[in-house]
Amino acid sequence: MFNWMKTAMLMAGIVALFGIVGASMGGQSGMLIALGFALLMNVGAYWFSDKMVLKMYNAQEVDARSAPEFYGMVQELVGRANMPMPRVYIINEDAPNAFATGRNPENAAVAATTGLLRLLSPREVRGVMAHELAHVLHRDILISTISATMAGAISALANFAVFFGGRDSEGRPVNPVVSILVMILAPLAASLIQMAISRAREFEADRGGAEISGDPQALASALSKIDHYARGIPFPAAQAHPETAQMMILNPLSGGGLAGMFSTHPATEERIARLQQMAGGMRA
């Protein structure tokens, strides 16, 4: 519940930021143009996200005949979650990772790398896939698309102000120094909020996945292993498409020393601690 409230507050924050920047830099017409521009960029990505991402990673669809254990595991979890069966894919990559995609539970897909299936025990794989199914149930692709649209609109407004001259809600020119400051600070603030939303959704998927599987400790153990082994294993497909890194159960590009507030994923240690606390509560 806390993470849903946090997400709602952050979403309200990014909408409010858009309104403030729009009113001060572009007026009503500028706000509408920027929002329309951002929608055009993101609606297509939202609608076709599953096909695009799966193609980027050369994911191969599997079924009960080609991958009976993995497919059956997902099928069992889907039954526990009372949700439609997603398409199931395997990605031929050594780096251990997994993701979910699709605009809604009826048009969803889950994927895991061969590296993840080799590294983890069946119990740990089950914990990971429950996490991915929780993303589908929570419609996190929709939430991330909305936040990306608002962040894109704020960036567009800031760029319009610099290149075409900003105007406030009454049509008066904005001080050029103010325009430059807005160009730098507004997109930065929008990105920080967007990243915070992503981190909140990961915590919520951990919680939801643990409830679906009934085994929080399995996901905690899986996260520990993935975090330890993934650091030394390159993931070329993720490096070629860094915009998809936020979809993974652990950020495959997290080795760059970025500050936590700019990360799409929470600290692994904190995720593990929360899951272990949840496991303790289930045993009590």
* Strand ranges (E), the chain: 60-62, 87-91, 98-102, 108-113
C-beta separation of 125 from 97 below 8 A: no
C-alpha 215/C-alpha 232 separation (Å) is 28
Neighbours of 114 (CB within 10 A): 15
Cβ–Cβ contacts within 10 Å for residue 94, how many? Answer: 16
The token duo for 16 is 């409010």
- What backbone torsions phi and psi does residue 99 show, to the nearest 5 degrees? -155, 165
Contact in structure between 34 and 187 (CB atoms under 8 Å): no
User: In sequence order, what are the beta bridge partners of 110?
Assistant: 88, 100
Buried/exposed 10-39: b ≥16 CB within 10 Å, e otherwise? bbebbeebbeebbebbbbeebbebbbebbe
Pairing of strands 60-62, 98-102: unpaired
Q: What is the β-pairing status of strands 108-113 and 60-62?
A: unpaired
* Residue 132 annotated as catalytic: yes
Give the whole-angstrom CA distance, residue 145 versus residue 46: 6
Backbone angles phi, psi at 175, to 5 degrees: -50, 130
Catalytic site residue from 61, 69, 124, 132: 132
| Token representation of residue 101 | 């995609």
Q: How large is the greatest C-alpha to C-alpha distance in the chain, in angstroms?
A: 67
Which sequence positions are flagged as catalytic?
Answer: 132
